[in-house]
Amino acid sequence: MARYDLLAAGKTFTRESLAAREPSLWRYSELLPLREAVNRVSFGEQFTPMVPMPSLGEALGMERLFMKDEGLLPTGSFKARGAALGVSRARELGVRAFAMPTNGNAGGAWAAYGTRVGIDAYIVMPKSAPAINKVECVMTGAHVWLVDGLISDAGKIVGKAVAEYGIYDASTLKEPYRIEGKKTLGFELIEQFAWNVPDVILYPTGGGVGLIGIYKAIRELQAMGLLEERLPRFVAVQAEGCAPIVRAFDARQTESTFWDGANTVAFGINVPKALGDFLVLEALYESEGTAIAIDDASILAMQRRIGETEGLFICPEGAATIAAAAELRRREWIAPQERVLAINTGTGLKYPDVTLPKLELLQPDATIRIETRK
């Protein structure tokens, strides 16, 4: 993992100096692996909103429920953070082409950032990946293959290509820079909470890179004396159809084992065995956090409820974190006044296949009846 001279960085990386910089992930340059700013690959990334959820929070018994909405990043998911840094650093290293397995959003992001600077993307994804992700990769010029299997199978195929052609391996945690991009999510949320640590952070965990990244960000800020020593309690949220981290956490293990028959609507977290599982589990144990699995029906019901109460159309993975918060509140693991932050990792627009109820079809001369809410 990337390490920095925190003492040197601290000379210019201060609360005050940061506040005066552009509101984007690039503002954290001292703690990013890029040497030269000219190598930045950017679509104009901005800070993502920290959205309070007062209506739903009240209904669920949480007074301070927030959602950080990563669906507004370029390519519609927080994978843009990893791709922005990963591709920029690859460019700096002179990489001309990379290969990677993906469940969809990482491929979409890396293809876009890569193509922007003429780096070729070779992408293998499960044939069951969301259609939009396949379209994104194709439309941004990647070479795309589908595999009749899971992301782990895609990973094996990429591994063989890396061995045979020596192509740059952009798989999760096979290169150390993607996580540095995802780390900026942690810096950003701490700044948005005015340099306070939330009590609980819920993260939809597939490979777990985002969770590890937030944890690393907080640790670095603490080591620099910029943040109190307290950690937020991290919650790894998984789907019942694919919950290797939850199973390992419940058994107090330090590593997970492969989850057979992985299957969930929350495709971004359909990862049967994460390479960085031990790091995710370490963050959970160190922070006195937990891991919890949510079934698909509850995920989809919560996705709809979030839209109906807060007007946010988020992805199933993000909805799982709110469903998890509701369940942990029920179990009193979360107290009513605690500051609870759920991470929404992508926009709901990426998943047009969510069940659409039958809508009434009108003739052009029809009239409609409206009953307003009291």
Q: List residues binding ligand PLP (CB under 6 A).
A: 77, 79, 105-106, 204-210, 268-269, 315, 317, 345-346
Of the two residues 200 and 265, which places its CB atom closer to ligand PLP in the complex?
265
Q: Give yes or no for a contact between 111 and 140, defined as CB atoms under 8 angstroms apart.
A: yes
Residue 13 or residue 238: which is nearer to ligand PLP going by CB? 238
Give me the least distance between CB of 126 and ligand PLP, in Å please: 13
User: In the bound complex, what is the minimum distance in angstroms from residue 346's beta carbon to ligand PLP?
Assistant: 4
CB of residue 179 to ligand PLP, shortest distance in Å: 9
Contact between 367 and 95 (Cβ < 8 Å): no
- Give the closest residue to 237 by CA, choosing from 339, 333, 343, 103: 343
Cβ distance to ligand PLP smaller for residue 13 or 262: 262
State which residue, 335 or 349, has the beta carbon closest to ligand PLP. 349
Among residues 13 and 214, whose Cβ is nearest to ligand PLP? 214
Judged by CB, which is closer to ligand PLP: 147, or 342? 342
Q: Pairing relation of β-strands 200-204 and 168-169?
A: unpaired
Name the residue with the smallest CB distance to ligand PLP.
268
Smallest separation, CB 143 to ligand PLP (Å): 21
Provide, rounded to whole angstroms, the least separation between the CB of residue 268 and ligand PLP. 3
CB of 185 to ligand PLP, least distance (A): 9
Task: Give the DSSP letter of residue 122.
Answer: E
SS (H, E, C) 146-200: EECCCHHHHHHHHHHHHHHHCCEECCCCCCCCHHHHHHHHHHHHHHHCCCCCCCE
Count of CB atoms situated within 10 Å of the CB of 65: 28
User: What is the distance between the alpha carbons of residues 103 and 105, in angstroms, rounded to a whole number?
Assistant: 6
DSSP designation for 240: T
Phi-psi region of 265 (alpha: psi -120 to 50; beta: other; left: phi over 0): alpha
